[in-house]
Amino acid sequence: MKQIFTNLVAIDDINISKRDIFVEDGFITTEFKSDEETKIIDCNGLVLVPSFVDMHTHFRDPGFTYKEDLKTGSMSALKGGYTTVNLMPNTNPIVSSKKIYEDIVKRAKDLDLIDIKQVYSITKDFKSDDLSHLKDLPEGLLFLSNDGKGVDDDFSMYQAIKIAKKNNLKFTLHEECKEISKYDYEIAEDVMTLRDCYLSYKMDMPIHFSHVSTKGAIEAIRYFKDLGAKITCEVTPHHIYFSDRKELKVNPPIRKEKDRLALLDMIKKGYVDCIATDHAPHSKEEKENGKPGFIGLETAFSTSYMTLVKAGIISLNDLIRLMSTNPSKLLEIKKGKIKEGYMADFTLIDFDKVYEYKEEDILSKSKNSLFINQKLQGQIVRVYKKGILKYDLNGKTL
């Protein structure tokens, strides 16, 4: 199938240009000879960017599908401009076996809405020192995590790194020392981040730090990155948007203004690699009872655009790098650039559109958003996956 995307402004991590984009069989190509079957896609003067990739997502499937499932989560992702998500393993049962992993991957593929990557647990069922499940790993696995928990046992983390290196795996880590977090959640994140930065540096291990939220943690990451450690990190839209809001229950919590400013500074200086949503669906009753976390896929681009680009902290190219190019590299997928040989995963955006995010428009099964009834700028209009239209603002998901 041949396609020409026309009447657009194309923006990726490097370029901004008015040009036609040629697609053949789902991949960007150089100009080809059109025929009567070539499809012309008019983008109506909108901005076309590489679709977003989320390094940190919860779809609650299996086990908690009253909050979200693979289909509703995928629909929510598309509404936010995403065609790839990286799912955390804290489901029920926890993703600690090939059977559970392969079931999720198969069902996601059968849905054919977005590309779904599944993370595997570091310790079996999140027990502190059981690594027995890492003896028989599923094919295609890339990341290990105990997200929602830190790996408190130092020796278990050390052993897990040795196993991961042998199997060419990487980590995406929730940094929280459980015993300390009962008393001081800031130090709890800082201490474990320091430990794992050191292990990354000393053991030459690729480690990605999830939802970094404190000044101390991001400074540790900066220090060890400068030493040459194979470290990458993400921050969330809510940690760079809000500060000093203890009533907003999320894990890690909304921090102080000093922490938010430190994150913004490190984004500007290039030490932050990704913006990741930590999309965390919960029921209304659970949120009322203090369950931590918020949905974020549908609003991540608009809030990040307003916080970072409109505020003059980074360029639009930089934002695409954080939301598409860099996470694509980490997940080892051919996305994130408008370049020959890359997948034709495109998101069309109306940057001038200021819209009100209403509860009735949310496509996630859960409605626990921080931004309901708020006015946001930069609306997702259409999303294509390998050149196939998957979402249209007027027609919702197709």
* Residue 70: pLDDT over 90: yes
pLDDT score, position 34 = 84
DSSP state of 163: H
Whether residue 266 is contained in a domain is answered as yes
**Mean residue pLDDT across the chain:** 97
Helix boundaries (H) for 56-207? 70-79, 98-111, 154-166, 178-181, 185-203
**Can the peptide bond before residue 138 be classed as cis, meaning omega within 30 degrees of 0?**
no
* Residue 53: pLDDT over 70: yes
Whether residue 208 is contained in a domain is answered as yes
Q: What is the pLDDT of residues 23-44, one digit of tens each?
A: 999 999 987 888 888 999 999 9
Instruction: Give 22's pLDDT tier (boundaries 50, 70, 90).
Output: very high
* Residue 359: pLDDT over 70: yes
pLDDT score, position 2 = 95
- Average pLDDT rounded to a whole number, residues 119-138: 96
* Residue 273: pLDDT over 70: yes
Strand-pair category, 82-87 with 207-209: unpaired
Give Cβ neighbours of residue 85 (< 8 Å, ≥ 6 apart). 53, 54, 57, 59, 73, 74, 77, 114, 115, 116, 117, 279, 297
Cα separation, 174 vs 169, whole angstroms? 16
Q: Say which CATH number the domain at 60 has.
A: 3.20.20.140
- Average pLDDT rounded to a whole number, residues 277-292: 97
pLDDT score, position 318 = 98
Whether residue 379 is contained in a domain is answered as no
Q: What is the pLDDT of residues 2-11, one digit of tens each?
A: 999 999 999 9
Whether residue 319 is contained in a domain is answered as yes
* Residue 300: pLDDT over 70: yes
Give Cβ neighbours of residue 349 (< 8 Å, ≥ 6 apart). 46, 47, 48, 49, 81, 301, 378, 379, 380, 381
Whether residue 344 is contained in a domain is answered as no
Is-above-0.85 flag for pTM?
yes
pLDDT score, position 397 = 58
What's the angle, vertex CA 370, arms to CA 367 and CA 373, rounded to 5? 80
Burial class (CB in 10 A: 0-12, 13-18, 19+), 389: middle
- Domain range enclosing 169: 51-338
pLDDT score, position 33 = 81
Q: What is the pLDDT of residues 80-102, one digit of tens each?
A: 999 999 999 999 999 999 999 99
Whether residue 46 is contained in a domain is answered as no
User: What are φ and ψ of residue 134, in 5° steps?
Assistant: -80, 0
Domain count, the chain: 1
For the annotated catalytic residues, the residue numbers are 278
Whether residue 175 is contained in a domain is answered as yes
Whether residue 14 is contained in a domain is answered as no
- Average pLDDT rounded to a whole number, residues 177-191: 96
Q: Is-contact 46 69, C-beta < 8 A?
A: no
- Average pLDDT rounded to a whole number, residues 248-267: 98
Burial class (CB in 10 A: 0-12, 13-18, 19+), 393: middle
